A and B are shown apart, each in its own frame.
Chain A
């Protein structure tokens, strides 16, 4: 079966118009050939996503926005979230004229992004994608791949990662105190608001979208910024930062894909991250929600029981 025949039959299965004979052929291909199986899986993702996007109206998005993390403990909320999360998307409504300079656009995007609560899912790519080199104890660091980061304002964040046993490790800051809530053991708290922020990709490089303590001026000074405008065939604009040759550290390239009309930030990518301490080569961020979080969400007390031991480091 050549590629064109395969594509036609595979789509026929997903469109529900395949004959029994066609289905048997496709089944045999999928069962015998892992690459065909992956192609069919990608097709299924596409069909599924088109259906979901086509039916995701304003009401559904509103529902997603209203979802509260505090509803974790309620089964009904979990069921609702099954549908709500897939249509959840963040959009920041500001004006971005096509002729705006790259630095002006960056400044406006950051200004608006810092006003609300935002939830991102992270994806690590390349090298040691599962995380930085092990600690001296030999225990691997919790992975940032598939981690979720919640941001509020210029100084509050929560990073949720899973350790090698699949248990959740939370670190964050409420803008005044930084903290870490490991899967077991004592909670640690510091008055240094940037303590425990090292796990945030980009945090060591002052990438202001990701690092709540980042210095925008430093970012703008260290990167050459350019806008790749949208066109009829290219619906998203991209703000691309390329690290200047005289700058040390930080990702070589920062890309931010955003809606040119609404300044919706759809995706971000930090490419060619420093490898001295291991970790992923690149990290991608997908904005999945901008629903307001509980007012206490960025405090450590929100994330553990009252019986948990808390160590004040200073």
Chain B
């Protein structure tokens, strides 16, 4: 592939990557697996970029590749079945493409908002997202009920969403956390 073509692939992938990442996360449910799948997706995109039809949007094409890579991962590792039905995955792919641009920009402000989460909620958040612990594992570690952990996570996400919306001003309206 020529340098210009490689640069085009890189540009398109850079733009699509946050949406593909969110989509993969929704399908696999943890950050470590998501990162492994994303590396496979990036390589697959580069290797098959000559087959990409430039007259069509790039993101839906990338999401198809991502779904294939998730399916491959599940097959190879004998993972449990996907939580979402095939029809739901199809709808989700379309929705990710639809909301991706707004979410990408909005979530650039997340880092600042996350720094405002303190105390036990921060502990729970770190264990879940930094440590990759399950709700059950967090409950056991902190001596909490699993239901309380789940509620705490939900409150943290609501707080983060509210913080982001404030910082975005009038353009930041988003869905429920």
B73 within 8 A of A: no
- Residues of B within 8 Å of A78, CB to CB, are 6, 9-10, 13, 42, 46
Convert B22-59 into 0s and 1s, putting 1 for each residue whose CB lies closer than 8 angstroms to a CB of A: 11111001110011001101110010000000110010
Q: A11-B150, A266-B109 are in contact. Are A45 and B84 (CB under 8 A)?
A: no
A41 within 8 A of B: yes
Specify which of B4, B111, B134 is in contact with A16 (CB 8 Å cutoff): B134
Specify which of B108, B161, B176 is in contact with A267 (CB 8 Å cutoff): B108
Please report the C-alpha to C-alpha distance between residue A12 and residue B83 in the assembled complex, in whole angstroms. 11
Chain-B contact segment, one of A51-59, A196-204, A205-213, A216-224: A51-59
- Residues of A within 8 Å of B90, CB to CB, are 31
Convert A51-87 into 0s and 1s, putting 1 for each residue whose CB lies closer than 8 angstroms to a CB of B: 1111110000000000000001101001101110110
Most buried by A among B38, B130, B134: B130
A44 within 8 A of B: yes
Please report the C-alpha to C-alpha distance between residue A49 and residue B96 in the assembled complex, in whole angstroms. 14
- Chain A interface residue bracket vs B: 35 or more
Chain B positions 91-122 with a Cβ under 8 Å from a chain A Cβ: 91-92, 94-96, 98-101, 103-105, 107-116
Whether A286 and B104, one on each chain, are in contact in the complex, defined by CB atoms closer than 8 angstroms, is: yes
Whether A82 and B13, one on each chain, are in contact in the complex, defined by CB atoms closer than 8 angstroms, is: yes
Whether B84 and A41, one on each chain, are in contact in the complex, defined by CB atoms closer than 8 angstroms, is: no
A17 within 8 A of B: yes
Interface of B is mostly: helix
- Residues of B within 8 Å of A233, CB to CB, are 116, 163, 166
Q: A27-B84, A51-B129, A266-B109 are in contact. Are A167 and B167 (CB under 8 A)?
A: no
Whether A267 and B21, one on each chain, are in contact in the complex, defined by CB atoms closer than 8 angstroms, is: no
Please report the C-alpha to C-alpha distance between residue A26 and residue B43 in the assembled complex, in whole angstroms. 32
Interface of A is mostly: helix
- Residues of A within 8 Å of B108, CB to CB, are 89, 266-267, 286
Closest residue of chain B to A264, judged by CB? B112
Closest residue of chain A to B30, judged by CB? A16
Please report the C-alpha to C-alpha distance between residue A236 and residue B19 in the assembled complex, in whole angstroms. 25
Taking the closest CB of chain B, its distance from the CB of A151, in whole angstroms, is 17
Convert A1-24 into 0s and 1s, putting 1 for each residue whose CB lies closer than 8 angstroms to a CB of B: 001000110011111111000011
Specify which of A13, A34, A82 is in contact with B42 (CB 8 Å cutoff): A82
Closest residue of chain A to B58, judged by CB? A166
Specify which of A17, A37, A83, A232 is in contact with B135 (CB 8 Å cutoff): A17
Whether A79 and B84, one on each chain, are in contact in the complex, defined by CB atoms closer than 8 angstroms, is: no
Taking the closest CB of chain A, its distance from the CB of B6, in whole angstroms, is 5
Whether B31 and A165, one on each chain, are in contact in the complex, defined by CB atoms closer than 8 angstroms, is: no
Whether A40 and B26, one on each chain, are in contact in the complex, defined by CB atoms closer than 8 angstroms, is: yes
Q: A45-B99, A50-B160, A257-B109 are in contact. Are A30 and B114 (CB under 8 A)?
A: no
Closest residue of chain A to B169, judged by CB? A255
Convert B118-144 into 0s and 1s, putting 1 for each residue whose CB lies closer than 8 angstroms to a CB of A: 000000011011100011100000000
Interface residues, chain A, with chain B CB atoms under 8 Å away? 3, 7-8, 11-18, 23-24, 26-28, 30-31, 34, 37-56, 72-73, 75, 78-79, 81-83, 85-86, 89, 121, 123, 125, 146, 148, 160, 162, 165-168, 232-236, 238, 255, 257, 259, 266-267, 269, 282, 284, 286, 288, 304
Jot down 16 A-B pairs with beta carbons below 8 A, ordered by A: A3-B176, A7-B154, A26-B83, A31-B85, A37-B91, A41-B103, A42-B175, A46-B107, A50-B157, A72-B7, A78-B13, A79-B43, A123-B105, A148-B14, A166-B54, A286-B108
